[in-house]
Structure 1
Amino acid sequence: MKLIFAIVSNDDSGMVSAALTKGGFSVTKLATTGGFLMAGNTTFIVGTEDENVDKVIDIIAKQSSRRSQMVPSATSMDVGMYTSFPVEVTVGGATVFVLSVDRFEKV
């Protein structure tokens, strides 16, 4: 048995959740925040048999698109003044962790 943690953008969260549920997987959702952009994410927790891991990852990958986004960035001038200018960053996609489960019980 495996435990899958998948961190996806809030923009993709609804589609990922619906696709996993439609695929017959039980899923737990946690609201999380990324450290780089301080943007909202959703962390999905899925427990499944070893043979279903690739199917779960495939579902998540199909529903989590990577895209470019312009975000404001500040830089410091010599006298303590700050100026803001947009920077293009890649957002979306998914970060997936797969862990082995030694024991599983539903009580």
Structure 2
Amino acid sequence: MKLIVAIVQNEDSGNLIDILTKSGFRVTKLATTGGFLKAGNTTLMIGVEEKFVDKVISKIEEVCRTREQTITTTAPVTGSTGIYVPYPVEIEVGGATIFVVDVDKFIKI
């Protein structure tokens, strides 16, 4: 038995959960916050037999694509004047971070 922990963007989570559950996988959803953008994301926990790990990962790859997003950041105008000017920066968001770990014991009551 394996536990797949997938951290995905909120925008991708609903569609991914639908696809996984329609494929017969059980999913537990946790609302989490990312450290870099301080934006909401979703952590999914999926318990599967080892033979299904690649199938679940391919479903995640199918839904969770990276994309460009423009954010506004600030920079000081000159030195330490205390004046900051906002400017747009394009960053890559989306995709997924996936951990696959062994499960010593699985109990369903």
* TM-score with structure 1 setting the length: 0.96
CA RMSD of aligned residues (A): 0.8
Letter in 2 for 1:93: G
Partner residue in 2 for 1:92: 94
- Write the distance in 2 (CA, Å) between the matches of 1:95 and 1:104: 23
Structure 2 unaligned blocks of 5 or more: none
SS at structure 1 position matched to 2:105: coil
Give the % identical residues: 54
Q: Tell me which moved more, 76-85 or 47-56.
A: 76-85
Which whole-Å deviations, capped at 9, do the CAs of 1:30-50 have from their partners, x for residues lacking one? 111111111111110000000
SS at structure 2 position matched to 1:13: helix
Partner residue in 2 for 1:61: 61
Report the CA distance between 1:76 and its aligned residue.
2.2
- Write the distance in 2 (CA, Å) between the matches of 1:100 and 1:83: 49
- Write the distance in 2 (CA, Å) between the matches of 1:64 and 1:55: 14
Which whole-Å deviations, capped at 9, do the CAs of 1:38-94 have from their partners, x for residues lacking one? 111111000000010000000011011110010011112321211110100000111
Instruction: Within 5 Å, give how 1:1-107 maps onto structure 2.
Output: 1-77=1-77, 78=79, 79-107=81-109
Q: Tell me which moved more, 4-13 or 71-80.
A: 71-80
- Write the distance in 2 (CA, Å) between the matches of 1:2 and 1:13: 20
- Write the distance in 2 (CA, Å) between the matches of 1:54 and 1:48: 10
Letter in 2 for 1:44: L
